[in-house]
C-alpha cells in the first residue's frame, strides 16, 4: 500500500511539474517574439512583459502560418501534358482552369479544390476536388472528329519545396463521354487517371 501511495505521489508530481510551466511557452507582450520565462528581458525589444501562449493559440498560429503560404495566391501550373491557372481563396478553396493538349485532342477543364493543412514543418497539403470540362478530338487524317465532356473527382497531395514552388500529384475516377461527328458514334469510358505537375505561386 505504501509503494502504491509513493507511485501516485510521483506521478502527480511529474504531472504538476509539466503542467505548471515546464512545457508552457511564452511570448513577448510587445513584439510577440518567443521567450523563456527565466529570461530577464526580451532579446529582440528589451521588454520585460512576457505573456503565456495557450496551446490552442499556438496551434492556431501554426495553422495560420502554414495556410498563409497558399491562401490568396495565384498559381501557374505545368502538368502533363498542359498548363493550368489557379487562384486560392480564403478557407483554402481554389478555382482552377486547366488545359491539356496533344496531337489529336484538346481538353479544357474547370476544377475546384479544397485544401487541408497536414504539417507546418513540411508544408504538406492534402486536397480533394471535382473537375469537369470539354473535350475535342480530331485525327491527323481528319477521318475521326468529335467532341464531348470529361468529369472526375480526385484526391491528392501538394508539397511546397520552396515558398513559391510546389509539386503535386492526384488520382481519381474519370468519366469520358464523346461523340464522333462523322459517324455519329458515341463512346463512353470509365477509368482512373493520375495527374502530376508543379505550381509556381505569385
Q: What is the pLDDT of residue 111?
A: 96
Alpha carbon distance 37, 23 (integer Å): 11
Q: What is the pLDDT of residue 20?
A: 44
Instruction: Please write down the HEC assignment for all residues of 99-164.
Output: EEECCCEEEEEEEEEEEEEEECCCCEEEEEEEEEEEEEEECCCCCCEEEEEEEEEEEEEEEEEECC
Report the chain's terminal Cα–Cα distance, integer Å.
67
Domain ranges of the chain: 2-53, 73-201
Q: Quick one: cell of 79?
A: 502538368
pTM of the full predicted structure? 0.65
Q: What is the pLDDT of residue 19?
A: 46
CB 92 within 8 A of CB 116: yes
Cell 485525327 belongs to 139
Q: What is the pLDDT of residue 45?
A: 76
CB-side exposure of 118: number of CA atoms within 13 Å? 13
Count the Cβ atoms, other than its own, within 10 Å of residue 98: 20
Q: In what order do the strands lie in the sheet with 25-28?
A: 34-35, 25-28, 50-53
| CATH tag for 73-201 (out of 3.20.20.70, 2.40.160.20, 3.40.50.2000, 2.60.40.10) | 2.40.160.20
Q: Is the domain 2-53 a CATH 2.20.28 member?
A: yes
Contacts of range 95-102, beta carbons closer than 8 Å, 24 or more positions apart? 98/131, 98/133
Q: What does the pLDDT profile of the chain (202 residues) look like in tens digits?
A: 545 555 555 555 554 444 444 456 777 777 777 777 778 787 777 788 877 765 445 455 555 545 567 777 899 999 888 999 999 997 789 999 999 998 888 999 999 999 987 765 567 889 999 999 999 999 888 788 999 999 999 999 998 888 889 999 999 999 999 999 888 889 899 999 999 999 999 8
Cell 493559440 belongs to 57
Q: What is the pLDDT of residue 91?
A: 78
Amino acid at each position: 500500500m505504501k509503494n502504491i501511495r509513493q507511485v501516485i505521489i510521483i506521478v502527480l508530481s511529474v504531472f504538476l511539474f509539466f503542467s505548471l510551466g515546464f512545457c508552457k511557452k511564452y511570448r513577448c507582450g510587445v513584439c510577440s517574439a518567443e521567450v523563456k520565462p527565466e529570461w530577464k528581458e526580451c532579446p529582440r525589444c528589451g521588454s520585460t512583459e512576457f505573456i503565456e501562449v495557450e496551446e490552442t493559440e499556438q496551434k492556431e498560429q501554426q495553422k495560420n502560418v502554414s495556410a498563409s503560404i497558399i491562401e490568396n495566391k495565384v498559381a501557374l501550373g505545368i502538368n502533363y501534358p498542359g498548363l493550368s491557372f489557379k487562384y486560392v481563396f480564403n478557407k483554402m478553396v481554389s478555382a482552377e482552369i486547366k488545359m491539356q493538349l496533344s496531337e489529336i485532342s484538346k481538353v479544357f477543364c474547370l476544377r475546384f479544390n479544397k485544401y487541408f493543412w497536414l504539417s507546418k514543418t513540411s508544408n504538406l497539403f492534402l486536397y480533394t476536388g471535382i473537375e469537369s470540362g470539354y473535350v475535342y478530338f480530331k485525327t491527323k487524317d481528319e477521318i475521326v472528329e468529335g467532341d464531348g465532356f470529361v468529369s472526375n473527382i480526385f484526391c491528392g497531395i501538394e508539397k511546397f519545396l520552396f515558398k513559391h514552388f510546389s509539386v503535386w500529384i492526384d488520382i481519381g475516377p474519370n468519366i469520358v463521354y464523346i461523340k464522333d461527328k462523322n459517324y455519329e458514334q458515341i463512346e463512353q469510358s470509365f477509368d482512373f487517371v493520375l495527374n502530376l505537375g508543379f505550381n509556381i505561386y505569385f
